[in-house]
Structure 1
Amino acid sequence: MKIYVIGKQKKEVEKLKRIIKELNYELNDKYPDIVLSFGGDGSLFIAERLYPGIPKLPVRDKSLCLLCNRLKLKNIIDKLLLDKFSITENNKIEGIIKKKNKSIRLIGMNDIVIRNNEPYHAIRFKVKVNKKMFFKLPEEIIGDGIVASTALGSTGYFHSITRKKFKKGIGIAFNNPTQKIKPIKGKNLKAVFKLIRNTAEVSVDNNEKTYVMNKGDKIVIRESKEKYRIVKI
């Protein structure tokens, strides 16, 4: 089995690599069978961006990680050696930003966040779900934006806004709107966000690369066919 390790704590990552070598696993950064993500959720998101679709084994450090195994490192490696693990699959979330001259595809495992680019200005926008106004949404919404999340992401920013979680599909939370708007969640949702006034910034997971939306730009958000895979021990 070919394994690679990703993490922000260099000393611990090197320790992990030594253990892997001692157990006669192959360290391979080009074609790994499993990627060990050492750290919190952020390390896991980075690992998925670098190695999309390759099974990830999240291993906890002192950071918060909802999917991280709590077993000691040696026990984790031993279970890999004995094939005592399973792999779960979950859909990612995707968004396509549609500008006048181009389209930009975004993909994440946690959430896509659209918010006001200028913190001193709210944005005006419309949201349609499945080609219609969903749950009697206002024709025009004024607020800081939206958070579109997977079930995994529903425990983070989505939950901070709504105090709710979900287990399937995607969810849309409205961030600081002037009117009270219930979150939308479910399977097979397709949300179209259109910016009406001011500028907005779009981010995916913890990726530092962001995108600017201008007046008239749209983003289409849905559950992706692409999946992320998590090793369970």
Structure 2
Amino acid sequence: MRYFVSAADDERAGELTERLRNAGYDVVEEYEPGAVVLSVGGDGAILYNARRYGEPTLLPVRVADSEGNRIQVDVEDAVDRVSLLESGREGEDYRTVRHHKLTALVDGDPVRDGFRAMNDVHLHHASPVRAAKFGVTVIDGGEVVYETDGAIGDGLLVATPFGSTAYYRSITGSTFAEGLGVAFNNAHKPADAPESLVVSPGARVRLTLNETTYGENALLVRDDDPDPYRLSADDPVEIRRSEAAVEAIRFPDRGDE
């Protein structure tokens, strides 16, 4: 196997690279498709590497000052875990979990090249002090399971199972293991708007921004990407699961479910 160490701190990346090479492992200087990415940091590092490298295989590695809901390996024992990955049996000593991303489409095309999300895609008003006004249709199994043309609130979020431990959980207080989660963020209208829905992996969520005096622009944000897509009232968007996926290495002896 080949490995690539990705860390925001170049010195930290260099130290781990040196440790791996001293242990005899093949570590490349630049990312190459097929290389296992040691994603050093917290949950944000996972999202960054998933976004930057497309469909990588990630081995998340936590450092002392990082938050990581999904990280099992500390930087101190990263070399030992690579050794287990090399010598162990897949399915017994480790396993590779495939996490599909989300995509957002306008007229059947991605809103922007490479616009995919590992955690979630969410809509909110371009101004943080104003509510978003939008229509939403949730289609699951060919049937409309929820629809309104007059939602008003802080926005709406569509999450993956991987992302359900992040923003989705902060809105709903819950997580889910399969399918897609749809969460209304502080919805004022309609009165019967559900706080959340969990639908099948093949479900589609259609959003239409309503044009009003102060609501003619909204932001469509993926994960923690600082570069959102600006959605206008003439851009109905559909959010659904992408065929693109990230593979994450998990270790059952670290309490993996």
Runs of 4+ in 1 over 6 A off after TM superposition: none
What is the correspondence of 1:62-73 to structure 2 with a 5 Å cutoff?
62-71=65-74, 72-73=77-78
Structure 1 residue 82 corresponds to structure 2 residue 95: no
The TM-score, its normalising length taken from structure 2, stands at 0.82
* Number of aligned positions between the proteins: 231
Amino acid at match of 1:185: V
Structure 1 residue 212 corresponds to structure 2 residue 230: yes
Please give the alpha-carbon distance, in whole angstroms, between the structure 2 residues aligned to 1:132 and 1:82. Answer: 48
Question: Identity of paired residues, percent?
Answer: 24
Q: CA deviation at 1:67?
A: 2.1
Give the counterpart of 1:114 among 106, 110, 123: 123
Give the counterpart of 1:223 among 217, 238, 241: 241
Match of 1:21 in 2: 21
What is the correspondence of 1:128-207 to structure 2 with a 5 Å cutoff?
128-130=137-139, 133-135=144-146, 137-179=147-189, 180=191, 181-182=193-194, 183-187=196-200, 188-197=202-211, 198=215, 199-207=217-225
Deviates more, 1:22-31 or 1:185-194: 22-31
The TM-score, its normalising length taken from structure 1, stands at 0.90
Q: CA deviation at 1:6?
A: 0.7
Amino acid at match of 1:74: V
Amino acid at match of 2:150: E
Give the counterpart of 1:46 among 45, 48, 52: 48
Please give the alpha-carbon distance, in whole angstroms, between the structure 2 residues aligned to 1:139 and 1:118. Answer: 21
Please give the alpha-carbon distance, in whole angstroms, between the structure 2 residues aligned to 1:120 and 1:44. Answer: 30
The alignment's C-alpha RMSD in Å is 2.2
Deviations 1:16-75 (A, max 9, x none): 101111122222224242000001111011111222222100011131212212352232
Deviates more, 1:67-76 or 1:197-206: 67-76
Please give the alpha-carbon distance, in whole angstroms, between the structure 2 residues aligned to 1:113 and 1:127. Answer: 12
Please give the alpha-carbon distance, in whole angstroms, between the structure 1 residues aligned to 2:128 and 2:37. Answer: 38
Structure 1 residues 33 and 123, CA gap change in structure 2 (3 angstroms):
same
Match of 1:104 in 2: 112
Unpaired runs of at least 5, structure 1: none
Give the secondary-structure state (helix, strand or coil) at the position aligned to 2:159: strand
Unpaired runs of at least 5, structure 2: 252-257
